[in-house]
Amino acid sequence: MNEELAIDVQGMTKRFGDRTVVNDIALQVRTGEIYGFLGPNGSGKTTFIRMLCGLLRADAGSGTCLGYDVIKDSESIKRHVGYMTQKFSFWEDLSIAENLDFVARMYGVKQRREVVQKSIEQLGLAGRERQLAGELSGGWKQRLALAACLIHQPKLLLLDEPTAGVDPEARRDFWDEIHSLADEGMTVLVSTHYMDEAERCHEITYIFNGELIATGTADQLIADSGLVTFEAVGPRADRLGRELTGKPGVVMVAPFGQTLHVSGTNQSALEHAIAPFRREPYQWSEVQPTLEDVFIHLMQRSDKQSEAA
């Protein structure tokens, strides 16, 4: 067993009937790492996470999670993993303290009351212990869910879209807490749609249609994309997208408010395509591709490869 790897799996596959939802995925996550798991809805992220924590049995694949066999030792994995589901999954007619106490009972936590109180204080829930979970805002529900995931002192956190539906301040506070946990040795696998959150991860994997299509740090993925990107700035620059889409050399156009990103893999062809549009009131400049540019490009390329197969 490689103790430096909290997750080390190969060939992970899950089928529902004749539909393959996760196809031959390999993943290695180092201990103490925050690992971003990205992909659009329906790409297989949740299914993969559930296979890792023993809630779904893989149809194929092998490897370890926290040193336990992902196929044979699912019960042992469950005891050492904290899993935060995408949908709030605690009892809305119980208070914060009652929810945490119930979860602590399920895990057989020793000195349960002291552990629950400490958890309440650490996650900033003090003063709200008696508030019903159903009365909490999205951000406070998120804190309760994280506290419940940590109550049994897991070694690995699996977080499935944990910041969906919460405000920007709550998202920032949540990520500060995640980095603090990682600094203490916690390993975190987190799925997210937010590019700014992806950039806060130590490493990223992108999954699309059940298949892994890119892995690396944010900087590596941008550098390896081969994309050249020009940015147009001006009133309703997004309208230019319709005229540029499909022109030779243009791989992708992506509007961002009053700006437009136009990308390709051949710089001379791309510059030739945008030359007729270098006019007032638009200002053009070459910029570094964003992570979002890269992922849109990867999805489009993957779709074209699937159509050609």
Phi-psi region of 203 (alpha: psi -120 to 50; beta: other; left: phi over 0): beta
Q: Which of 279, 226, 275, 272 is nearest to 249 (CA)?
A: 272
43 contacts 50 by C-beta, under 8 angstroms:
no
- What does the pLDDT average to over 99-112? 92
pLDDT in tens, 162-194: 887 778 888 888 899 999 999 999 999 999 888
pTM here is 0.88
Q: Which segments of the chain belong to CATH 3.40.50.300?
A: 5-216
260 contacts 286 by C-beta, under 8 angstroms:
no
CB atoms within 10 A of CB 50: 19
Residue found by looking up tokens 């889409």 in the block: 245
Q: What are phi and psi of 180, to 5 degrees?
A: -65, -40
Q: Which segments of the chain belong to CATH 3.30.70.100?
A: 226-288
pLDDT in tens, 54-98: 889 999 999 999 999 999 999 999 899 999 988 777 888 999 999
- What does the pLDDT average to over 292-304? 82
pLDDT in tens, 124-137: 888 888 999 889 88
* Class of domain 226-288 as given by CATH: alpha beta
pLDDT confidence band for 305 (50 / 70 / 90): low
pLDDT in tens, 197-218: 899 999 999 999 999 999 999 9
Q: Which positions ≥6 away from 115 have C-beta within 8 Å? A: 104, 109, 151
Average pLDDT, rounded, for the chain: 90
Residues above pLDDT 70, as percent of the chain: 97
Topology of domain 5-216 in CATH is: Rossmann fold (3.40.50)
Report the pLDDT value the prediction gives residue 86, as an integer from 0 to 100. Answer: 80
Scored b (16 or more CB within 10 A) or e, 17-39 reads eeebbbbebebbbebbbbbbbbb
pLDDT at 1 over 60: no
Report the pLDDT value the prediction gives residue 307, as an integer from 0 to 100. Answer: 61
- CA angle in degrees (0–180, nearest 5) for 106-108-113: 95
Q: Which of 156, 215, 161 is nearest to 188 (CA)?
A: 156
